[in-house]
Amino acid sequence: MASTNDLKNGLVLNLEGQLWSVVEFQHVKPGKGPAFVRTKLKNVLSGKVVDKTFNAGVKVETANVDKRTMQYLYNDGTDYVFMDPDTYDQLPVTPEVVGDAAKFMMENQEAVVARHDGAVLYIELPASVVLEITYTEPGLQGDRSTGGTKPATLETGAEIQVPLFLEQGTRIKVDTRDGSYLGRTS
């Protein structure tokens, strides 16, 4: 249990049997009436975001979530297999839990695996990853970085929009949260 005064971003709460992660919070002290805490909560499993208000000082139940950095090994056809680098224990994770993160995962890459009571809740990748473009239409003379975009297929199989001047074989930095192009790497 924690007080609403102890809330911080990333804290996972157990409300009515569901797990909710605190996205943002704000302590409000109106001129008249009691203080309260306005929060934005994200459902850990479904991703649904809701606004919820708590009276200041109220006790809320927190959930014990174990976040551990693990190494992604391979996809065995049905599950994604992660390994704990300390104990070498392997953990199969279903595609439903991995979700869109699968589009940007390379073998031997590290990711944060969040578990609660032994069940895997979600996979968290670094904010950006470096991937190689395996296929894109060739650029034309006159294509500049301020121009339009074209589709490109990455080595993980994901397809994103990149500037016209990029060519096949170029290594680029990609934002794992929304799949946007961030820049070239050498």
Instruction: Give DSSP secondary structure letters for 25-67.
Output: EEEE--SSS--EEEEEEEETTT--EEEEEEETT-EE-B---EE
CATH of domain 66-124: 2.40.50.140
CATH of 128-184, one of 2.40.50.140, 3.10.180.10, 1.20.210.10, 3.90.420.10: 2.40.50.140
Query: Given this model, what pLDDT does residue 143 score?
Result: 55
Report whether pLDDT(6) > 60: yes
Mean of all residue pLDDT scores within the chain: 88
Residue ranges of the chain that CATH labels 2.40.50.140:
66-124, 128-184
Q: Which pLDDT tens digit goes with each residue over 93-108?
A: 999 888 888 899 999 9
- With bands split at pLDDT 50, 70 and 90, how would you rate the model's confidence at 8? confident
Give the pLDDT confidence of 139-183 residue by residue, as tens digits.
666 656 566 788 999 999 999 998 888 889 999 999 988 889 999
pTM comes to 0.72
Burial class (CB in 10 A: 0-12, 13-18, 19+), 185: exposed
Q: So what's the pLDDT on residue 37?
A: 92
pLDDT at 109: 92
